[in-house]
Amino acid sequence: MDRKTIGIIVGSLRRESYCRKVALRLSELLADAFDTTLLTGGDLPLYNQDSDDDGTPPPQWTAFRDKVAAFDGVLFVTPEYNRSVPAVLKNALDVASRPPARNAWSGKPGGIVSVSPGRLGAFGANNHLRQSAACLNIAVMPTPEGYFGGASDFLGESGAVTDEHTAASLKRYAAAYAAWVKRFTD
C-alpha cells in the first residue's frame, strides 16, 4: 500500500516562526505513518478571480493547487493575527479552493494547530480557520483541539520542544490526527 501524504500548511512567514518549529516537530511525529510536506503559500500572488475567468491563473496558483490536490490530508499550523489567521494563510485557502468546482481542499481530513507566545494559544485563529475549513469541505478533526500557548517558553533556540507537558500534548495530537486521516484514507 502506498504511503499517504500530508500537507502541513504553515501560516507564518517569519524566519524564526514558532509555527514552523511546531510544524517541523509534528512532521517528525507523523513520519512513521505519513510522508509530509511543509508549505507556506508565501509565493502565491493574491487571489483575483479575473485570472481564473480569463484562463490565465499565475503558475504559482496552479502549482499550489496541484500540490494540495495530491495530499491525502492537510494539517494547518497557524499563528493568530487580530483574532484571525494571517493573510498568507487565507490567500492559500482561497487560491486552492477556486474555481469552486475544483476545490483542491474538498474532502480531505484536516487538523488545525494554533501556536502563540500568548496564553490563549491563538484560540481566535484556530476557531476562525475551522469556519473557513467547514465551508471548503475539509473534514477537520474535532478533538483533540490543538492550542499551544506560551510558545516562547516551550521552544528552545534550536526549535526543540523543551517542556515535557507540551511535548506530550503534541505527541497525543499527532497520534489522534494520524488516526483521523486513516479513517478517511484506509
Domain containing residue 19: CATH number:
3.40.50.360
pTM of the model: 0.96
* Host domain of residue 129: 4-185
172 near 144, Cβ under 8 Å? yes
108 near 72, Cβ under 8 Å? yes
Cis (ω within 30 of 0) for the bond into 144?
A: yes
User: Which residues share a beta bridge with 120?
Assistant: none
Q: What is the pLDDT of residues 24-74, one digit of tens each?
A: 999 999 999 999 999 999 999 999 999 999 999 999 999 999 999 999 999
Total structural domains in the chain? 1
